[in-house]
């Protein structure tokens, strides 16, 4: 009797598990139809660059080769008669993915997939191949527009990347490691990600498996619409580790429109170096919460300089758009029409004000290199820091006539704030510093147990630090 009761309970439990698994499976998305509908519009891209192959002897022409050794044949193979052996060409290949934008042969992929390619071959899932030409390629957004001479091609359906939500399902189709038309799925992990090397793209972060060969391929939503181009991964091993990034389609199509209309891509430029607002800095700048982007440096002769922006301004709104974090500003500025006068709402000295600035074109290169300082000078015991005045040479190196160089930092308020040796301190508590003596005077007036902003110039940029002197 007891055995029968046990089997009855076990049967009920197993039935419940089976039913739960079926319900769970029923709630998972089915990607089969999406893949079937779009596989013909996804392409494999083979980019070939013809490079010059040199022998070891050509790389080391003065190398003396020994004779009469057991390795004569080996040495001759690599080193024999370099003058009579001209450089031999060889082909470097890169594999990537792409997708058909229009039936008349426009194809999208990543810039890095076709960079420096002498020949680009597009292969479709029916094994047909076409040679493609590059209509335009933009390194900053990592987008390239290609064209093949074909008609009646199967195309993808484009989606709106502005209404995406974290947590929604997405699917990628591409050629990882050369495995054609592989599909991988996941969810959107975050939106508006800014990467150090790509500040003009608000990336879509996903956990979709992306590997070498997936670059340039489409990222689909559940409606079968392309909402991004898979571009890169974050990895400590070189392989996929659960963090991948895609370029939003609204950014991509802006690049495409510019390439089609003028053959190149231009971006708006404000001419400032910015940093994020931390909780401590928010307090020191009079903000209720961390928001906006702090201007840590105004580029000389740039748009912001002409509009009288100052280091320490906190940009809260740009052209009516709220700036929640510093990473949100560059993409918005970059897509602003060049020559447009834009209202910018800032916080300056605990007061809100609006400045109008005329946006200019982003220069090709921005060089803001500064050198380090030397030791020796006055000691501020309160902050545990040693300071020196700028020499004439250092004024030229730092492109500054005022400020003070940090010669040494000991354990204390300055080191806890993140101030380092060789920093150029430009201002403290929103007051510009003339020299080391002036710094000491200002230091004696600093409030206790309250965060105050310190602007320093470090390396190739400038940043604000929150300095706080604790009660003894």
How is 71-109 classified by DSSP, letter by letter?
A: THHHHHHHHS-GGGSPPEEEEEEEEEEEEESSTTSEEEE
The reply to whether 215 belongs to the active site is yes
Those residues whose C-beta lies under 8 Å from the C-beta of residue 146, and which sit 6 or more positions away, are: 45, 98, 106, 107, 108, 109, 114, 120, 122, 132, 133, 134, 135
The reply to whether 142 belongs to the active site is yes
Name the active-site residue from 46, 97, 111, 112: 112
Output DSSP code: residue 268.
E
- Which pLDDT belongs to residue 458? 83
Residue 282, SS3? helix
CATH topology of domain 268-361: Pdz3 Domain (2.30.42)
What pLDDT, in 10s, does the model give residues 264-281? Answer: 888 999 998 888 888 888
According to CATH, where is 2.30.42.10 located in the chain? 268-361, 378-467
- Which pLDDT belongs to residue 17? 60
- Which pLDDT belongs to residue 320? 92
CATH topology of domain 157-262: Thrombin, subunit H (2.40.10)
Output DSSP code: residue 336.
S
Strand partners, 244: 206, 233
- Which pLDDT belongs to residue 343? 95
Name the active-site residue from 142, 198, 254, 380: 142
Q: Quick one: which H or E segment has residue 48? A: strand 42-53
Output DSSP code: residue 321.
E
Name the active-site residue from 46, 94, 215, 443: 215
Q: How far apart (Å, rounded) are the C-alpha atoms in residues 111 and 134?
A: 10
CATH of domain 39-147: 2.40.10.10
Residue of 95, 102, 99, 254 whose CA lies nearest to 171: 99
The gap from C-alpha 304 to its chain's centroid, in whole angstroms, comes to: 23
Spans of the chain, pLDDT less than 50: 23-24, 55-63, 65, 74, 82-84, 90, 365-376
User: Among all chains, which residue has been given the structure tokens 């560059």?
Assistant: 330
Residue of 205, 199, 216 whose CA lies nearest to 252: 216
Residue of 186, 147, 189 whose CA lies nearest to 45: 147
The gap from C-alpha 258 to its chain's centroid, in whole angstroms, comes to: 21
What superfamily does domain 378-467 belong to in CATH? PDZ domain (2.30.42.10)
Judging by beta carbons within 10 Å of its beta carbon (0-12, 13-18, 19+), is residue 404 exposed, middle or buried?
A: buried
φ, ψ of residue 47 in degrees (nearest 5): -105, 125
- Which pLDDT belongs to residue 382? 85
Q: State the distance between the two ends of the chain, measured CA to CA, in whole angstroms.
A: 78
Those residues whose C-beta lies under 8 Å from the C-beta of residue 206, and which sit 6 or more positions away, are: 170, 172, 186, 187, 188, 189, 219, 244, 245, 246
- Supply the pTM of this predicted model: 0.66
The reply to whether 231 belongs to the active site is no
**Which two structure tokens, joined as six digits, stand for 459?**
């390396």
According to CATH, where is 2.40.10.10 located in the chain? 39-147, 157-262
């Amino acid at each position: 009797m007891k055995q029968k009761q046990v089997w009855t309970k076990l049967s009920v439990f197993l039935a419940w598990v089976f039913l739960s698994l079926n319900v769970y499976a029923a709630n998972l998305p089915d990607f089969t139809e999406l893949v079937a509908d779009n596989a013909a519009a996804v392409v494999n891209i083979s980019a070939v660059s013809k490079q010059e192959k040199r022998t070891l002897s050509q790389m080391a022409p003065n190398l003396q080769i020994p004779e009469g050794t057991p390795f004569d044949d080996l040495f001759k193979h690599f080193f024999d008669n370099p003058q009579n052996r001209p450089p031999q060409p060889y082909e470097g290949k890169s594999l990537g993915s792409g997708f058909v934008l229009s039936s008349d042969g426009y194809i999208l992929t990543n810039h890095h997939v076709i960079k420096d390619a002498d020949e680009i071959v597009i292969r479709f899932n029916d094994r047909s191949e076409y040679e493609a030409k590059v209509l335009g390629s933009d390194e900053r957004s990592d987008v390239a527009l290609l064209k093949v001479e074909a008609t009646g091609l199967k195309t993808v359906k484009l989606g709106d990347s502005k209404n995406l939500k974290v947590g929604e399902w997405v699917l990628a189709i591409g050629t990882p490691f050369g495995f054609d038309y592989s599909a991988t799925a996941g969810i959107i992990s975050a939106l508006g990600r800014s990467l150090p090397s790509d500040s003009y793209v608000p990336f879509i972060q996903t956990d979709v498996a992306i590997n070498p060969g997936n670059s340039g391929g489409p990222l689909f939503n559940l409606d079968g619409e392309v909402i991004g181009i898979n571009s890169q991964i974050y990895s400590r091993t070189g392989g996929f580790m659960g963090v991948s990034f895609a370029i939003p389609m609204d950014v991509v199509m802006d690049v495409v429109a510019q390439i089609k209309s003028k053959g190149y891509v231009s971006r708006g430029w404000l001419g400032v170096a910015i940093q994020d607002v931390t909780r401590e800095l928010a307090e020191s700048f009079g903000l209720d919460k961390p928001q906006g982007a702090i201007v840590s440096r105004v580029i000389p002769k740039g748009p912001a300089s002409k509009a009288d922006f100052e280091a320490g301004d906190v940009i809260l709104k740009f052209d009516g758009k709220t700036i929640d974090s510093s990473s949100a500003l560059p993409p918005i500025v970059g897509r602003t029409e060049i020559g447009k006068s834009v209202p910018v709402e800032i916080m300056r000295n605990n007061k809100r004000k609006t400045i109008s600035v005329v946006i200019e074109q982003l220069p090709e290169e921005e060089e803001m290199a500064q050198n380090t300082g030397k030791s020796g000078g006055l000691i501020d015991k309160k902050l545990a820091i040693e300071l020196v005045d700028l020499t004439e040479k250092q004024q030229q190196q730092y492109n500054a006539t005022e400020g003070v160089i940090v010669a040494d930092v000991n354990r204390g308020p300055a080191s806890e704030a993140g101030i380092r040796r060789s920093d150029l301190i430009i201002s403290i508590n929103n007051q510009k510093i003339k020299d080391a003596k002036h710094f000491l005077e200002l230091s004696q007036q600093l409030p206790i147990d309250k965060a105050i902003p310190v602007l320093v110039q470090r390396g190739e940029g400038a940043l604000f630090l929150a300095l706080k002197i604790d009660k003894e």
